[in-house]
Amino acid sequence: MDDKEKITPEDAREQEAAEQKAPEAEAPAAPEEDEAQKKYDSLNEKYLRTLAEYDNYRKRSIRERESIYPEAKADAAAAFLPVMDNLERALEIETEKNPFYEGVVLVKKQLDEVFAKLGVEAVEAASGSSFDPELHNAVMHVEDDGLGENVIVEELQKGYRIGDRIIRHSMVKVAN
């Protein structure tokens, strides 16, 4: 044999290592590796879905939390509307200006201030104004040729709102 053909132990190890690596690269992945990859993909997909569900839940919770306060404020104001109605009826009665009457005036003024702080406003339903079904509730109808179409004749009960939200519609009598 020539020196060219002599194989050193180092060369033999390198050749053996190369032969062992080559079949691994060419051979398909072991079934265990395929199964592990599928399991990984499945778990990763579940994780991503769970993450998306949690994000949606968090956003929904924030929206609900933000909507609770205006709803609670409107409900609390609605509970006090009968009190306001009774105070207004009490003030409509003609009496002499005694301390009792002055006390009712002060209580009404105080309730007006509380409503103002909460942003509660009366809905405009003056006689002669136009009827708006989003603001008014027509409970009576009158035929009057002197008035136009859908004109408010009389306000029977005041309506209230907070911003754009109607707490109670005005009850009105409408002409034609």
Using one digit for the tens of pLDDT, what is the confidence trace for 90-132? 999 888 888 988 999 999 999 999 999 999 999 988 888 889 9
Q: Please determine, for residue 23, whether its predicted confidence score (pLDDT) is greater than 50.
A: no
pLDDT score, position 1: 47
Amino acid at 88: E
Percent of the chain topping pLDDT 90: 57
Q: Please determine, for residue 14, whether its predicted confidence score (pLDDT) is greater than 90.
A: no
pLDDT score, position 24: 47
pLDDT score, position 166: 94
pLDDT score, position 123: 93
